[in-house]
């Protein structure tokens, strides 16, 4: 017959699953990539050689660097302003003007959606018939209500180069503010199920306690051990144990 505790544990696990399903917990709180590529490490104090937005002080910065030898990097900067298409075009033109490699090809600014926000981005790559495809990059502007984030992903890793810029855009698209959201109706449903389960459990416990109180406990006398009684001989009586009278003490014979 199965025991009841495992059933109770299964109910608790089910209720916990309902509560967890009602919460959408981000991988990282705050503005950050929610799904960084495998093998990338967050590096404190690192930043790009030249920021995309000039003349403005950044209020947020973060960096991801690939741990292999392919030297891939992702830089995130935040600026306290709502920057749009014109600022993105200016940043794109300056990126082409100050490119470190003369073989850099810079694409046109295109619409790009990140975290449900309408932003802008463009592709860059170094590729020639002689050198082949050296590296690729994608740079994006993501404006929020009062802050605009720039995200730059540059890589020489063949995994990202083969299908660039789609591979780079897919990683940048995981950027988000990272707020925990709650499904209130589902949480209420879970709370109701929990209260119902507690009520059923309390009712069963009360019924079990009432049954236990109704049982009359009868003391069963202990059986006598007859085998032990037969094995022990009875103690001798006083007459049997007294010694026979001596001849001197015997009464004289009668004539």
- Tell me the pLDDT tens digit for each residue of 149-165: 999 999 999 999 999 99
Angle CA(51)–CA(48)–CA(42) in degrees, nearest 5?
Answer: 130
Q: Is the pLDDT of residue 85 over 90?
A: yes
What was the pLDDT predicted at 94? 96
- H or E stretch at 49: none
pTM: 0.63
Mean pLDDT of 97-122: 96
- H or E stretch at 33: strand 32-33
Mean pLDDT of the chain: 80
Tell me how far the alpha carbon of residue 66 is from its chain's centroid: 24
What was the pLDDT predicted at 205? 79
Considering Cα of 228, then 230, then 233, then 235, what sign does the dihedral take?
Answer: positive
Cα-based torsion angle of the residue sequence 237, 239, 244, 248 in order, rounded to the nearest 10 degrees:
140
What was the pLDDT predicted at 7? 46
SS3 243: coil
Q: Is the pLDDT of residue 12 over 70?
A: no
Assess contact for 104 and 131: CB atoms under 8 A. no
Orientation angle between helical segments 5-21 and 184-214, nearest 10 degrees: 160
Which of 198 and 112 is assigned the larger pLDDT? Answer: 112
Assess contact for 26 and 178: CB atoms under 8 A. yes
Residues 64, 130: Cα–Cα separation, whole Å:
30
Which of 91-100, 131-140, 213-222, 232-241 shows the lowest per-residue confidence on average (mean pLDDT)? 232-241
Q: Is the pLDDT of residue 20 over 50?
A: no
Assess contact for 47 and 32: CB atoms under 8 A. no
Which of 212 and 138 is assigned the larger pLDDT? Answer: 138
Q: 166-217: per-residue pLDDT in tens?
A: 999 999 999 998 755 565 565 566 566 667 667 777 787 777 777 777 765 5
What was the pLDDT predicted at 13? 53
Q: Is the pLDDT of residue 231 over 70?
A: no
Q: 21-71: per-residue pLDDT in tens?
A: 555 565 667 899 999 999 999 998 888 889 999 999 999 999 999 977 668
């Amino acid at each position: 017959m199965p025991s009841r505790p495992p059933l109770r544990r299964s109910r608790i696990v089910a209720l916990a699953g309902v509560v967890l399903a009602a919460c959408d917990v981000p991988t990282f709180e705050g503005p950050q990539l929610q799904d960084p590529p495998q093998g990338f490490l967050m590096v404190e104090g690192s930043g790009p050689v030249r920021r995309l937005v000039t003349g403005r002080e950044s209020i947020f910065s973060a960096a991801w660097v690939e741990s292999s030898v392919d030297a891939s990097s992702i830089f995130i900067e935040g600026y306290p302003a709502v920057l749009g298409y014109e600022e993105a075009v200016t940043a794109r033109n300056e990126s082409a003007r100050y490119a470190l490699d003369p073989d850099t090809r810079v694409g046109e600014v295109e619409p790009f959606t990140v975290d449900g926000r309408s932003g802008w981005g463009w592709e860059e790559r170094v590729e020639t018939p002689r050198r082949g495809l050296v590296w690729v990059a994608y740079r994006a502007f993501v404006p929020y209500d009062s802050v605009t984030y720039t995200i730059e992903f540059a890589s020489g890793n063949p995994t990202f180069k083969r299908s660039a810029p789609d591979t780079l855009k897919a990683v940048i698209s995981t950027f988000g503010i990272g707020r925990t959201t709650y499904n209130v109706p589902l949480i209420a449903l879970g709370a109701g199920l929990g209260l119902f389960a507690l009520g059923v459990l309390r009712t069963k416990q009360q019924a079990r306690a009432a049954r236990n109180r109704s049982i009359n406990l009868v003391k069963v006398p202990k059986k006598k051990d007859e085998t032990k009684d037969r094995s022990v001989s009875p103690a001798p009586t006083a007459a049997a144990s007294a010694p026979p009278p001596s001849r001197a003490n015997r009464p004289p014979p009668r004539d």
